[in-house]
Amino acid sequence: MTSLMTRSRNPQAHLSNDMERLLDAWPHWLGQGRLSTGAWFPMDLMETENDYMIVAEVPGVPKENVDVSLEENVLTIHVNKPAPEIGEDDSVHSRERVFGEFRRSLRLPRDVDVEHVDAHHKDGILEIRLPKREESKPRQISVN
């Protein structure tokens, strides 16, 4: 079977369509199946045989300003990055860095062992390990 696709001559349209397909391909446990585009900190989501792993970049945010909570199988990362003080006589010519409070929430898969979730923050990297429940892990069954 042959499928026909019409492509726009506008390269930005290609990129937009490709990004839409990429975002739609993320696992369902991201919540609505889409990444939150309003959050300033990027995250990687990975899965191994034994657990899921979230790695978030939170540069310039001290450990005390990072809060990770879990409620009703939804993991929420709340980050507060305060803006530096600007003196009254100082002029800001350009400001590209972002400051403020940011929050990302992820609905977790049902096989996460919520009693053993572990989070570490070091050098601007937040790592959250979400172990899978033992009964959901693959196991070998002997044949008699």
> Tens digit of pLDDT for each residue in 21-34?
555 544 444 443 33
- Residue 122, helix vs strand vs coil: strand
pTM above 0.85, yes or no: no
- Residue 38, helix vs strand vs coil: coil
The CATH class of 36-83+99-136 is mainly beta
How high does pLDDT run on average in the chain? 79
pLDDT in tens, 93-138: 888 888 889 999 999 988 999 999 999 999 999 999 999 988 777 7
